[in-house]
Structure 1
Amino acid sequence: MIISSPAKVALISRVDQEKTLDQVAAMAGDVDIIFTEGYKRENKPKIEVFRSGVYDEILCKPSELIAIASDRQFDNGVPCFDLDDASGLIDLIERLYLKPGV
């Protein structure tokens, strides 16, 4: 399926098996940042969204995380942001991954 508007085009297609994160990134083309959901087992930087009513502890190893967005604080050396602190997460992502002036 292709969805098109004057400003955007999106392609949705069936696949026989899940694409790896590297395959998804290759399909994205020349972009600065790709956000995905899932791919916990991929060896890529992650932001874990943690809700205390769902799990007791974070799922990823702290060494895999660049940040945690949560309704509670963690003392594991990983920057932790409130679930509603989108600007804090954006600032961190810009500092870590975008070149100055971009």
Structure 2
Amino acid sequence: MKKSLYILGGIILLFIITNPSISAFKAYIGSNTYSGLKRTTNLFVCSIYKHNGVDYFGITGNFFELKKQQVQISDSEKQRIIDSANMSDSSRMKEYTPPLPKGYTAVKN
């Protein structure tokens, strides 16, 4: 048990030591200045950087480009979403009335 904690601690320490710096990111990008380079997140064992609107993941001295995935929505699905947002269904607009305890009745003013 103690040995596995030392191993885990050593691995975490290795990740912390090899977490790439902003200057390493600048060298990876090939930029001469820090203009446009930004470390958006530092998790100590890894970091996320941004350059010209593109995010990069840095870990153990390496960088990986994070690509944003675009979701394809069909035209019929888009129309269904628009219709449900525009719907003026009175059942959705009703005011919530909490249930009354036993023995009580609601009185309208």
Q: Fold-level match, TM-score > 0.5?
A: no
Which TM class, normalised by the smaller chain length? under 0.3
Bigger Rg, which one: 2
TM-score by length of 2: 0.17
Task: Name the one with the larger helix percent.
Answer: 2
